Structure formats: C-alpha cells, structure tokens
Structure 1
Amino acid sequence: MSCLALISDIHGNTPALVAVLEAITRDGIEQIVNLGDIASCGVDPRGTLDVLRKRPDILTVRGNHERQFLTLSREYMGASDRLAFDLLTYDDRERPAGLPVTVEPAPGVLAFHGSPDDDLCYLLHTVDSAVPDSLREANDQEVLERLGASTDRFEVFVCGHTH
C-alpha cells in the first residue's frame, strides 16, 4: 500500500488546510483522504471548499456537518451549520451533497467520518448520555459492532469526527 495522508475536520479553517496541504506536498505524499466536516464550524467555509475544489485528487467523505447543513431545516441547524448554509451558494453546496459516506482509498482500507453507517458515531469512545461529561474508551465489542459488516471485508479503518 502506498502512503496515505489523512485529513479531517477542517471546519472551514482555510489557512490551516492550506498549510497542511503544503506540508503533505513537501513530504511527497501523493494520496490524500479527507474524512469529512469540511466547511461548517469555521469562518471561511467557501474558502475551504475553493481550496478543495482545486484538488479533485483528494478522496473525500461526507461528515455529519455536511449532512446537517444540507438536509436539516435551517431552524434545526446549530449556529455553525447555519453560518455555513448562509455563506455558501447552491453551487458551493453541490459538491458536499454528492460526497460518499465511505471510500476505499486502497485495497483493504475503508475510510469514513464517524463509523461506516453513522456519521455521528464515536468509533473509539463511548458516551453515556445519561451521565454528564461521560466519556470512556470503547471496548473491542463496541468497536466491532460500530464497524458492522465491514469488519469482514477490510483490514484497516480510518475515521474522523473525534478530532
């Protein structure tokens, strides 16, 4: 397998994205996988999309924020998704709308945002919503359940969402 650069949770931070892409280029890494949450939660959603639009070679999956600002009614969006929605044109939203949920950047490798079937899932952590500030490392059984049927088909899993 060739070397992959993984980027994720850019959240509209265009200067950071540019710096990371420059570092990846300097390191000679040719294959990049973007694990989602591209534009929302930052001050420059359009700039981030413009940078990525010039890089069609980057494999990109849809994150929960892309889904949210593309599918929720504006009144149900969080503030950062509303900002992205308001700043992006229909054409800007066209690319994220067409992003896949998973990609296979190399044989035996599956890339996704949260889990293969749930962009809000924390793959390696478990949150107990009944207990405030409850976060623990997920056990092996929980991780396998979250990976679902993909565990039989892939050897390497890469995800974003957890920053």
Structure 2
Amino acid sequence: MRIAILADIHGNVLALDAVLDDLKRRGGADLTVNLGDCVSGPLWPRETMERLEALDLPTVRGNHDRRVAVDPADDTMWPSDRYAQERLTAEQREALLALPFTLEIVPGVIAFHARPDHDEKYLADAITDGQLVRAPLATIRRRLKPLDPACRIVLCGHSHRSELIRIPGGPVIFNPGSVGCPAYDDSTPPAHVSEQGSPHARYGIVELDVPGRPDRFEAFAVDYDHEAAARQAEQAGRPEWAHALKTGFMSD
C-alpha cells in the first residue's frame, strides 16, 4: 500500500497543487492523508478549502483548524486564523471543527496533527535557544505513551519540520514537513521559530506491506511559484510570512 502524507498546508493552494502534481508524476498513491492545519494563513484559505473539499481526503484536525472554526472571531484570535475565518463559509468552518482528532489509517498506522493527546504540543521537538530541535529519546517515548502499544507507524505534522525517527522497541514517527508554510514564529512562551531552510513544498510517501521489503519512507521537497505566494502574503500585510515563503527562514 502506498500512502501519500500531506501536512500543514496553511492556505497555500499553489504549494498544494504543486505537491499533487508531483505525486501524480511519481505514480500517485493508493491513499492520500491530510494531517491538518489546512487553511490558516494570509494566502488562499477559501480556494484551498474548496480544493480539499473536492479531494475529500482522510483528514485530522489541526490546532489552527480548531481555532479558525471559532465564530465570531474575538481579540484573542491570531491574525492568520482571523484571515482564514473571515474568508470561509460557516459550513466550511463547521467542517473543519468536525474533523477527527486521530485516524487509524490502516491497522497499526495512526495519524494525528501534533501529539496523540494534544493538538498544540510537539511530539518529536524541543525548544533550544528559540529554535525547534529534536527532543531527547526519553521525552519522545513519554509523549507516545497514550498510543496503543500495537501502533507501529505514527504520522504527524505541526512542527513543519521533516522528521523520520525509529523509536527502539516502538513505532516509527514520520513527519513530512509543511506543504505550504516553510517557516513560522510562535510567541507562545517559550517563544521560538521553526525553519525548514528552503521555500519548497514538502510531503511524504509511505509504502507498506511490500513482500520481502520493510516499510519505506520518502520525504520530498517540491519547487513551486513561492514568489507568487510571497506576494499574496505581502498584499495581506504580512511581510514576515512573505519572507518565510521566499526563504524558508524567519530572518536573514
């Protein structure tokens, strides 16, 4: 079985289309899974939502999907969530809120956005000197405890950092990176940034149950018109998003 993994699209329909085209060139997949944070951001939330509605992918709810669904918006709503919230229909916001927290894709393969018990805390990451880095193995093991011991593969996003970690005696964790948002800053204490280091759109493919071969994990970085995405962010008054989309970094 060949499973394509998308995560953290963040309203970047140009990046999403580039990923889907690249996947098609590589022979497609038996199943494509979306790990959430679909539309939040100063780009094309309505267009992205419409594209995803047409695709009807198995999708888990991200923290920003939950936040975008708040109605009416209030002063505590983050700007990227507000931008998306104002451009979606009530039905689209309700659909985001109704997404499941976790999905069992096939037996032993579990998908969620961030952690098995929380949609806004990191699974495989720690914050060091204001940057996301890989967390210690003991920390990751502790965060995995809510999972069924039979789980052999974990699919997650949230950090926007591509990761492949085989836990000794435990599951493989696969984060494909972000389709549409290559860097971000988070002011929630402790404040930090996540930086993929290039503007490419990221996604992954997992191949399961191939006779005579172990499970295979591949991460891909796809070029697309990131300059057009950056211009859209600039027009929305978000120069920091524009810089991230152009470079994959939050600052020079």
Q: Same fold (TM over 0.5)?
A: yes
2-side partners of 1:146 and 1:53: how far apart? Answer: 32
- Runs of at least 4 residues of structure 1 off by over 3 A? none
CA shift for structure 1 position 147: 1.6
Task: Please identify the structure whose Cα radius of gyration is greater.
Answer: 2
Provide the residue aligned with 2:24 in structure 1: 25
The question of 1:16 aligning with 2:12 is answered no
The structural deviation recorded for 1:104 is: 1.0
1:37 Cα offset (Å)? 0.5
Residue of structure 2 in register with 1:47 after alignment? 47
User: Per-residue deviation at 1:134?
Assistant: 5.0
Helix, strand or coil at the partner of 2:85: helix
- Counterpart residue identity of residue 25, structure 1: K
> How far, CA to CA, are the matches of 1:28 and 1:135 in structure 2?
32
Matched, 1:63 2:59: no
Mapped to 1, the partners of 2:108 and 2:127 lie a distance apart of 29
When the two chains are superposed, the root-mean-square deviation of aligned CA atoms in Å is 1.7
Equivalences for residues 3-152 of structure 1 within 5 A: 3-26=2-25, 27-56=27-56, 58-71=57-70, 73-127=73-127, 133=130, 135-152=132-149
TM-superposed deviation, 1:151: 4.8
Letter matched to residue 52 of structure 2: L
CA distance in 2, matches of 1:83, 1:71: 12
- Kindly tell me: are residues 115 and 92 of structure 1, through their superposed partners in 2, closer, same or farther at Cα, counting changes over 3 Å? same
Judging changes above 3 Å, is the alpha-carbon distance between structure 1 residues 15 and 136 closer, same or farther for their aligned structure 2 residues? closer
Structure 1 residue runs without a partner (length 5+): none
* Count of residue pairs the alignment pairs up: 158
Taking only the aligned residue pairs, the percentage that are identical comes to 39
TM-aligned CA distance change 1:143 to 1:30, over 3 Å:
same
| C-alpha displacement of 1:100 | 0.5
Alpha-carbon contact 2:116-2:146 (below 8 Å) kept: no
Q: Which structure carries more helix by proportion?
A: 1
**8 Å CA contact retained: 2:62, 2:119:** yes
After TM superposition, the score normalised by the length of structure 1 is 0.89
Q: TM-score w.r.t. structure 2 length? A: 0.59
Further displaced range: 66-75 or 13-22: 66-75
Structure 1 equivalent of residue 182 of structure 2: none
Which structure has the highest strand share of the two?
A: 2
Tell me what 2:210 maps to: none
